[in-house]
């Protein structure tokens, strides 16, 4: 039995790479295929595997400017020879699922999201692009959309990382999907007895995460806000920040973990596909004030682990902060931590194994056993997954 893991690119270590890391634990002998690869940017778990790159990796400046070569990535994927593999798992957010496999191969796609820059965020990306890119985007993105839909037919089973992504898969590909939330290392975070007097924003500083919305709201409120993260908006946010807002930029994990534990609440102003950051804050015992959209609907339970604001506007967030402060003492740190543990790594591994076993049996796998390497099974101290609580926030789940 041979297994191949397909990941869009390996140049950073974020949520998608944490999913790949867990899949590497599940299949320790699997080969990895990706467009571009920077070994220094990924975990030791991933580096232990044999990593193959497409021809994109050999193009000038590919590791730093890989997105420039997006129109070539469908050709690069289809050039990969995967005929020797019995199971292919694609990790999709950029182009990954479009590989060609043999009729006997089981192809499961773990979809972090259909490519947002060609679907729901297309107009945002085009509006922020330079003149030449704006001119070229319509025909190129049209071609990519056509290929993206066609390549969805090459997948036997879709797995979505959230209810929001499941709806996008249904809309763009007309395919159902099973929801399996990504793994979060909840044991890496420790609550403190008493938080400090500041709120926290964590994440990559890019437009769709809306850190500037939080900075504006806290400028007006006169409350302390700390922003941790790096990205193209860092300089602009520092210029925008008033005396009560501290823009720390990128920080090591020890500083991040400390701020998670000591903040009054995490502020989550953008719409994410899933959003690991809120779960990390909840694993630290802290509630979350989140925009009522996207993956937060699957992770934040209003009144238990946080509350929502409805519009991506400073005033809506300001109103939510005032509501939170009126009910702040009603939030129980231990209950928030218990809720966060529903998203741990062992749950992800167990649910992935269940889906893969069923898929392999459905393909006529017979008595052949998939080559798992991880010791699986839910920790006895972890609560069962709270589907009823999630459904209360998201009727489409």
Q: Which residues of the chain have pLDDT under 70?
A: 365-368, 374-397
Beta bridge partners, 110, equal 91, 159
pLDDT of 256 reads 97
Residues 85, 2 contacting (CB under 8 angstroms): yes
Residue range(s) in the chain whose domain bears CATH number 3.40.50.2000: 3-183+344-390, 186-340
- Scan for tokens 């182009």, then name that residue: 95
CA distance 124 to 209: 12
CA distance 106 to 45: 24
**Long-range contact pairs involving 350-353 (C-beta distance under 8 Å, separation at least 24):** 350/376, 350/377, 350/378, 351/180, 352/22, 352/23, 352/26, 352/110, 352/159, 352/180, 353/26
How many other C-beta atoms can be found within 10 angstroms of the C-beta atom of residue 128? 12
**Long-range contact pairs involving 236-242 (C-beta distance under 8 Å, separation at least 24):** 236/212, 237/205, 237/211, 237/212, 240/212, 240/215, 240/216, 241/215, 242/215, 242/218
Domain spanning 3-183+344-390: CATH superfamily: Glycogen Phosphorylase B; (3.40.50.2000)
Classify residue 303 as left (phi > 0), alpha (psi -120 to 50) or beta: left
Identify the CA nearest to 159 among candidates 242, 82, 96, 74.
96
Residues 353, 359 contacting (CB under 8 angstroms): no
Q: At CA 332, angle to CA 327 and CA 336, rounded to 5? A: 115
CA distance 4 to 16: 16
The span from the first CA to the last CA of the chain, in angstroms, equals 34
In which element (H, E) is residue 212 found? Answer: helix 211-221
CA distance 376 to 345: 10
- Scan for tokens 């938080």, then name that residue: 195
H-helix segments, 293-375 = 296-299, 314-327, 333-340, 345-362
Extract the tokens encoding 148: 């993206």
- Scan for tokens 């939080």, then name that residue: 214
* Contacts (Cβ under 8 Å, ≥6 apart) of 23: 5, 30, 89, 91, 110, 352
Residues 86, 65 contacting (CB under 8 angstroms): no
CA distance 46 to 32: 8
Question: What is the DSSP secondary-structure string of 118-157?
Answer: TTTTHHHHHHHS-HHHHHHHHHHHHHHHHHHHHHHTT-SE
Beta bridge partners, 175, equal none
The CB-side HSE value for 226 (13 A sphere, CA atoms) comes to 20
CA distance 305 to 28: 35
pLDDT of 386 reads 40
H-helix segments, 222-313 = 234-240, 253-262, 276-283, 296-299
Encode pLDDT of 61-118 as tens digits: 999 999 999 999 999 999 999 999 999 999 999 999 999 999 999 999 999 999 998 9
CA distances from 228 to 163, 246, 255, 277 (A): 27, 9, 9, 11
What φ, ψ does residue 33 adopt, rounded to 5°? -120, 135
CATH architecture, domain defined by 186-340? 3-Layer(aba) Sandwich (3.40)
């Amino acid at each position: 039995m041979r297994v191949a893991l397909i990941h869009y690119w390996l140049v950073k270590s974020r949520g998608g790479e944490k999913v790949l890391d867990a899949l590497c634990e599940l299949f320790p002998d699997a080969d990895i295929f990706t467009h571009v690869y920077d070994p220094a940017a990924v975990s030791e778990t991933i580096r232990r595997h044999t990593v193959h790159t497409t021809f994109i990796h050999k193009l000038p400046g590919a590791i730093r400017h890989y997105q420039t070569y997006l129109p070539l990535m469908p050709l690069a994927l289809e050039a990969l020879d995967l005929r020797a593999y019995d199971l292919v798992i694609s990790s999709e957010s950029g182009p990954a699922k479009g590989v060609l496999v043999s009729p006997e191969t089981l192809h499961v796609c773990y979809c972090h999201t259909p490519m947002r820059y060609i679907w729901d965020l297309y107009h945002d990306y085009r509006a922020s692009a330079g003149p030449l890119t704006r001119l070229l985007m319509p025909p190129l993105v049209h071609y990519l959309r056509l290929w993206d839909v066609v390549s969805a037919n090459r997948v036997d089973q879709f797995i979505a990382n959230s209810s929001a992504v499941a709806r996008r898969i249904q809309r763009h590909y007309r395919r159902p999907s099973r929801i399996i939330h990504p793994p979060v290392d909840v044991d890496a975070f420790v609550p403190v007895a008493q938080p400090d007097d500041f709120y926290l924003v964590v994440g990559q500083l890019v437009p769709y995460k809306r850190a500037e919305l939080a900075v504006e709201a806290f400028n007006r409120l006169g409350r302390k806000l700390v922003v941790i993260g790096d990205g193209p908006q860092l300089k602009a946010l520092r210029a925008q920040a008033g005396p009560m807002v501290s823009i720390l930029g990128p920080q090591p994990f020890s500083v991040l973990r400390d701020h998670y534990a000591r903040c009054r609440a995490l502020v989550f102003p953008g719409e994410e596909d899933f959003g690991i950051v809120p779960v990390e804050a909840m694993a630290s015992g802290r509630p979350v004030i989140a925009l009522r959209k996207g993956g937060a609907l699957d992770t934040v339970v209003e009144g238990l682990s946080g509350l929502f604001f409805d519009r991506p506007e400073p005033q809506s967030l300001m109103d939510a902060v005032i509501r939170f402060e009126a009910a702040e003492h009603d939030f129980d740190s231990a209950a928030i931590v218990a809720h966060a543990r529903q998203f741990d790594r062992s749950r992800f591994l167990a649910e992935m194994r269940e889906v893969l076993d069923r898929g392999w049996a459905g393909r006529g796998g017979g008595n052949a056993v998939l080559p798992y390497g991880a010791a699986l099974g839910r920790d006895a101290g972890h609560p069962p997954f709270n589907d009823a609580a999630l459904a209360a926030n998201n009727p489409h789940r």
